[in-house]
Amino acid sequence: MAQHLFQLSQHNLSFPDVDSALPEPDGLLAYGGDLSNQRLLTAYSKGIFPWYSDDSPILWWSPSERGILELADFKCSKSLAKKIRQQRYRVTLNQAFEHVIKACANVPRNDAMHGTWITDEMMDAYISLHQQGHAHSIEVWNQQQLVGGLYGVGLNNVFCGESMFHIETDCSKIATYYLVQWLKQHDFAFIDCQLVNPHLSSLGVKGVARDYFISKLNQAQNKTPRYTNDIWQPKELS
């Protein structure tokens, strides 16, 4: 692996060009480094994300096909729309980030790329990003119980989704619905979903070529946000 992959330095935050990512396993770009706030933000700004398990070094990825959700393409099924209209659930922003990421880590997954990959090191890193105002969560509550949610990284006009969970049916979809509405209100460009799977496809996520994704990412980052950072203050969304 070391013969073909770029090894990141502990002191240098630079990444190799994403075009140098391996074709097999698809998108594996580099290994090593750390999960400091600055390195993570640098990675996301270049279309790179970390994914690894406890028994491996930190691995950095930029797959050849990227999953994105154009906000206008979000699919709200009739059953989901009915649940939202019933207002059975309370939805909040950034009120329980640590609970959300821990719930995401504990939910069993079938997707090989999104299995039990949220290590303690990863949790600590994203909690730190959240404390610095860069990582955000949507929470879905049934009375006082957290029953669904998602988290990700806000990068100028792009939301980089990391993981979601649900305890009650459709509650991760409810979280996504409210995230999409919130991002539309504040003129975000799209959601980076990293990969495409059947669950994400049902919500309108599509796969695009890496070059196209990087172009869209760069365009969004070069656009001056029309919002201020206080949009991410903890609040009710429902």
Band of residue 66 on the pLDDT scale cut at 50, 70, 90: very high
Reading phi first (left if > 0) and then psi (alpha if -120 to 50, else beta), residue 43 is in: alpha
pLDDT of residue 113: 45
pLDDT of residue 88: 94
Q: Does domain 6-64 have CATH number 1.10.286.10?
A: no
Q: Where are the domains of the chain?
A: 6-64, 67-236
pLDDT of residue 110: 55
Of 147, 176, 169, 140, the residue nearest 67 (C-alpha): 176
Band of residue 53 on the pLDDT scale cut at 50, 70, 90: confident
- CA–CA separation, 229 and 80 (whole Å): 30
Give the whole-number percent of the chain exceeding pLDDT 70.
95
pLDDT in tens, 169-227: 999 999 999 999 999 999 999 999 999 999 999 999 999 999 999 999 999 988 888 88
Which are the contacts of 126, defined by CB distance < 8 A and separation ≥ 6? 101, 135, 151, 153, 162
Tokens 């459709």 sit at which residue?
170
Question: What single-letter DSSP state applies at residue 143?
Answer: T
Instruction: Phi first, then psi: give them for residue 127, nearest 5 degrees.
Output: -65, -40
Reading phi first (left if > 0) and then psi (alpha if -120 to 50, else beta), residue 91 is in: beta
pLDDT in tens, 86-139: 999 999 999 999 999 999 998 765 554 444 579 999 999 999 999 999 999 999
What's the whole-number average pLDDT of the chain?
93
- For 67-236, CATH gives 3.40.630.70
Structure tokens at 128: 């730190």
Judge if 6-64 and 67-236 fold alike in CATH terms: no
pLDDT of residue 109: 55
Q: Assign 6 to helix, strand or coil.
A: strand
